Amino acid sequence: MRLTRYFLPVLKETPSEAQIVSHRLMLRAGMIKQASAGIYSWLPLGFKVLRKIENIVHDEQARAGHIPIQMPILQSADLWRESGRYDAFGEEMLRMQDRHGREMLYTPTAEELVTDIFRAHVGSYKDLPLTLYQIQWKFRDEVRPRFGVMRGREFYMKDGYNFDLTKDAALHAYNRHLVSYLRTYERMGLQAIPMRADSGAMGGDNTHEFLVLAETGESEVFYDAEITDLKFGDRAVDYDSVEQCQAVLEEFTSRYARTDETHDEALFAQVPEDRRRRARGIEVGQIFYFGTKYSEALGATVVTPDGSRVPVHMGSHGIGVSRLLGAIIEASHDERGIIWPEGVTPFHCGIVNLKQGDAAADAACDSLYKALTAKGLEPLYDDRTERAGAKFATMDLIGLPWRITVGPRGLDKGVVELTSRRTGDSEEMSPEAAVDRIAQIYS
Ligand code: ATP
Ligand code: MG
């Protein structure tokens, strides 16, 4: 993409309404624009990152064997009356009427709707196990929407639902989700720690939240510092294997790690003092096993091998897709702007032309652009006739992990400069070598 043809409305001024760094940077980098309280339009750069995050989520869901569907945003109140949550959900649920006076609502989550799909089409143990998920906009009328996309009213969420014959099978689904979430967040360059959480209004007793440590996090967390050394890496876990998923669960959840809702001082005191940490975290996901709560309420049953009928065991599992943009920026930025992890960066690298209009510099940038594109990479070429300083400031603000700087002086020696956004280190090399290096980084 050439910057002169793109739509990147960066702000010079720091927006005064934004209290935390990720919100400020998303506004300054022209990623989002507030439409009304807690509701945002996604501008090209923000939308691109949102899509990258979404794609990683889809990819890892596929790896775990989960099946994508899409359910509607507007739902009828009837199903929610059947489950008893129409009243229980309270003021967070946005309610409305259609022209016939039928009560409708904007989906805050979708246990009822997915259970209705299940009960209509599945009747036998032979169809289990089954996990359906979607990535869809949700609406919760939060009392205090704030921090940009971190606590919006409208937000984008992956919500998945497992259906299993027995409690043991459903607990395997729970473990499988935990494993796949570890891999999902790591691919985004994030460390998200599974912590024992409170099941709240969802009911049930097995639940973990995934938290990204950050000073601006809304949750208070307590953990054993050893946890931050754990890496999932690229281990090949067989998601069908009960033992393998169980082993990962034990490795990642056996040390003390809890949100304030489940925090236990006496247990925490057993962690060696030098490893005890109290910090703040951003909740980027949560997994639940809640048994037969919704299947009993809505009559979602299956026939067992011996011919009896039982309600299915269920769980639900969420990832805050839009909140993740804020969480990634909170975890990865400096005073000049965002530093995107390679896994989610909107463009693979930037090209800065120090002397736009100079025939040799223009030609070198064009050929770099073509060579990168030919390798399946997406560069952002700053082809504006601006001062070098302004171009560098824009690149630093929008946080592309790699920048190639091209100028007449370097070209005389046959070199361009490759700079890492994270370390600031620069290296001179031939344009061909720069292309190869970037291709290798993303391979
Ligand atoms: P919170 O405690 O932050 O209000 P929650 O526990 O009510 O969240 P879940 O029902 O577990 O949320 O939703 C799954 C995920 O969706 C959360 O882990 C979070 O990442 C994201 N999420 C929830 N509410 C919001 C919101 N208002 N804005 C953006 N993301 C949200
Ligand atoms: Mg939650």
Q: Say yes or no to pLDDT of 376 above 70.
A: yes
Between the CA of 160 and the centroid of ligand 2 the distance, in Å, is 13
Q: Is 410 in the pocket of ligand 1 (CB under 6 A)?
A: no
Which residue's CA lies nearest to atom 19 of ligand 1?
320
Residue ranges with CB less than 5 Å from ion ligand 2: 286
Mutate to test the pocket of ligand 1, among 92, 323, 324, 325 (most ligand atoms within 8 A of CB): 323
Q: How far is the CA of 286 from the centre of ligand 1 (A)?
A: 8
Pocket of ligand 1, candidates 57, 155, 282: which has the most ligand atoms within 8 Å of its Cβ, to mutate? 155
pLDDT at 200: 66
3-338 is classed in which CATH architecture?
2-Layer Sandwich (3.30)
User: How distant is the alpha carbon of residue 296 from its chain centre?
Assistant: 32
Band (86; pLDDT cuts 50, 70, 90): very high
Ligand 2 center to residue 34 CA distance, Å?
A: 24
Tell me the CA–centroid distance for residue 209 and ligand 2, in Å: 6
Q: Is 140 in the pocket of ligand 1 (CB under 6 A)?
A: yes
60 lines ligand 1 (CB under 6 A): no
Confidence of residue 14 (pLDDT cuts 50, 70, 90): confident
Q: Encode pLDDT of 306-336 as tens digits.
A: 999 999 999 999 999 999 999 999 999 999 9
Decide whether any atom of ligand 1 lies within 6 Å of the 108 Cβ: no
Asked whether 138 lines ligand 1 (CB < 6 A), one says: no
284: Cβ below 6 Å to ligand 1?
Answer: yes
Closest listed ligand to the CA of 201 = 1
Residue 204 has pLDDT above 70, yes or no: no
- CATH for 349-441, among 3.30.1490.20, 3.40.50.800, 3.90.1150.10, 3.40.1280.10? 3.40.50.800
Q: Is 315 in the pocket of ligand 1 (CB under 6 A)?
A: no
Per cent of the chain over pLDDT 90 is: 96
Cα(410) to ligand 1 centroid in Å equals 50
For residues 16 and 384, the model is more confident at: 384
Query: In Å, how far from its chain's centre is CA 1?
Result: 25
From-to residues of CATH 3.30.930.10 in the chain: 3-338
C-alpha–C-alpha distance, residues 55 and 59, integer Å: 6
Please check whether residue 70 is in contact with residue 54, taking contact to mean a CB–CB distance below 8 angstroms: no
Summary mean pLDDT of the chain: 96
Query: What residue has token string 């001082």?
Result: 265
**206 CA distance to ligand 2 centroid (A)?**
13
Tens digits of residue pLDDT in 234-274: 999 999 999 999 999 999 999 999 999 999 999 999 999 99
Ligand 1 atom nearest to 288, measured from its CA: 11
Averaged pLDDT for residues 122-144: 97
Q: Determine which residue's CA is closest to atom 26 belonging to ligand 1.
A: 151
Which residues have CB under 8 Å from 55's CB, separation 6+? Answer: none
Q: Which amino acid is at 127?
A: D
Alpha carbon of 157 to ligand 1 centroid (Å): 8
Q: What's the whole-number mean pLDDT along residues 215-221? A: 95
Q: What is the pTM of this model?
A: 0.97
CA 112 from centroid of its chain's CA atoms: 24
Q: Is the pLDDT of residue 352 over 70?
A: yes
- Phi/psi at 6 (5° precision): -90, 175
305: left (phi over 0), alpha (psi -120 to 50) or beta: alpha
- Does the CB atom of residue 323 touch ligand 1 within 6 A? yes
Model confidence at 17, pLDDT cuts 50, 70, 90, reads confident
Closest by alpha carbon to 103, among 117, 121, 114, 89? 89
Q: Is the distance from CB of 209 to CB of 194 less than 8 angstroms?
A: yes
What residue owns the CA closest to ligand 1's atom 25? 151
Is the CB of residue 407 below 6 angstroms from any atom belonging to ligand 1?
A: no
C-alpha distance from residue 115 to each of 79, 204, 300, 325 (Å): 10, 17, 7, 30
Least confident of 69-83, 190-204, 348-362: 190-204
- Range list for CATH 3.40.50.800 in the chain: 349-441
Assigned token pair, 247: 């082993």
Buried b (16+ CB within 10 A) or exposed e, 150-183: bbbbbbbbbbbbbbbbeeebbbbbbbbbbbbbbb
Find the Cα–Cα–Cα–Cα dihedral 75, 60, 122, 168, rounded to 10°.
-110
Q: What ligand is nearest to the CA atom of residue 140? A: 1
Residue 372: pLDDT band by 50, 70, 90 thresholds?
very high
Give the distance (Å) from ligand 1 centre to CA of residue 190: 17
Ligand 1 centroid, distance to 108 Cα (angstroms): 10
Residue 151 near ligand 1, beta carbon < 6 Å: yes
How many angstroms does the Cα of residue 320 sit away from the middle of ligand 1?
Answer: 6
State the pairing for strand pair 337-338/349-353: unpaired
Condensed to tens digits (0 to 9), the pLDDT of residues 136-187 reads: 999 999 999 999 999 999 999 999 999 999 999 999 999 999 999 999 999 9
Mean pLDDT of 74-79: 96
The span from the CA of 339 to the CA of 328, in Å, is 9
Q: How confident is the model at residue 202 (pLDDT cuts 50, 70, 90)?
A: low
Mean pLDDT calculated for residue range 410-429? 98
Confidence of residue 201 (pLDDT cuts 50, 70, 90): low
Q: What percent of the chain has pLDDT over 70?
A: 99
